[in-house]
Amino acid sequence: MFALFHDLVIAPFAEFEFMRRALVGAVALAIAAAPIGVFLMLRRMSLTGDAMAHAILPGAALGYLVAGLSLPAMTFGGLVAGVTVAVGAGAVARASVLKEDTTLAAFYLLSLALGVTIVSLKGSNVDLLHVLFGSVLALDDTALVLIAAIATLTLFAMAAIFRPLVLESVDPVFLRSVGRVGAPVHLIFMALVVLNLVGGFLALGTLLAVGMMMLPAASARLWTDDLTQLVGLAAAIGAGSAVVGLLLSYHQSLPAGPAIILVAGAFYLLSLIVGRRGLLAARIGRRHLEA
């Protein structure tokens, strides 16, 4: 039994360095991004994360156009593009009759089309797939250090602003009435969203980066109402999805990034059915009340 477990679970990571690198990068990303996803979900901004994930594409593509597959250039470009879209969408929403979700949708569609066009001008279809879907199995030392730094910064920042962030998520009007920390907390939180999407972009690509944020958060919400447990469970689900997804990719010769997100999606569907607040529990509860 142990030999089988070793061959299926331990051997891929013990024998291949690229699998160990992918494991470290994906788990670090999950531990930081999943708690961010929890607060996006609580603030009803789940689709904002998706919009911002697409928004970083043209900046990363410009970095690619200038310097090729250069991590510093693509990271800097992605950060600038993400911040620009976040600020621009808010400014347009305040200056026009359009709501912020509408402006974000418009910005992210333009960003996605522009980014794909820029990459296509210089690169091949392989380069385009690399940008859109990531290359978690090809993470180098520089990428790992960047992802680890983003994860560390995120966890420390979340710990520092946790209480006002909870208040700002639940009752922003009350937070503004008792102090002036609401706007800074919102800006810090959005900066963390962009940073984690850039980290996710390096490993999972622009189309899948938001999956590591939202799917573990949505799964955890179906199991608990306690916020502290929700954050911890989301991070655990994200890390577990990374491990299982990489093993599935190794044994079944599947693309690693999509495999990780598929595992997270499978856990979400399972939680939706059998979770403490899932469909089965709701049906049993209705039957109990009817009886």
Q: What is the pTM of this model?
A: 0.85
Question: Cβ distance 124 to 176 under 8 Å?
Answer: no
3-state secondary structure 47-72: HHHHHHHHHCHHHHHHHHHHHCCCHH
DSSP of 166-220: HHHHH-HHHHHHH-S-HHHHHHHHHHHHHHHHHHHHHHH-TTTTTHHHHHHHHHH
**Domain locations along the chain:** 2-290
Q: How many CB atoms lie within 10 A of CB 120?
A: 13
Record the tokens describing residue 125, joined without a space: 């279809």
Share the mean pLDDT of the chain: 82
Q: How confident is the model at residue 35 (pLDDT cuts 50, 70, 90)?
A: very high
Question: Cβ distance 149 to 157 under 8 Å?
Answer: no
Q: Model confidence over 55-78: pLDDT tens digits?
A: 787 887 788 777 766 777 877 888
Q: How many CB atoms lie within 10 A of CB 173?
A: 8
Record the tokens describing residue 119, joined without a space: 């990459």
d(CA 242, CA 257): 9
Cα distances (angstroms) measured from residue 263 to each of 63, 133, 277: 31, 16, 20
Assigned fold of 2-290: ABC transporter involved in vitamin B12 uptake, BtuC (1.10.3470)
Question: Cβ distance 81 to 55 under 8 Å?
Answer: yes
Q: Model confidence over 235-283: pLDDT tens digits?
A: 999 999 999 999 999 999 888 888 999 999 999 999 999 988 878 877 7
Find the radius of gyration of the CA atoms of the chain.
Answer: 20
Question: Cβ distance 26 to 260 under 8 Å?
Answer: yes
End-to-end distance of the chain based on CA atoms, in angstroms? 47
Question: Cβ distance 113 to 181 under 8 Å?
Answer: no
Q: Read off the DSSP letter of residue 136.
A: G
Closest CA to 76 of 87, 65, 60: 60
Most confident of 70-84, 101-115, 209-223: 209-223
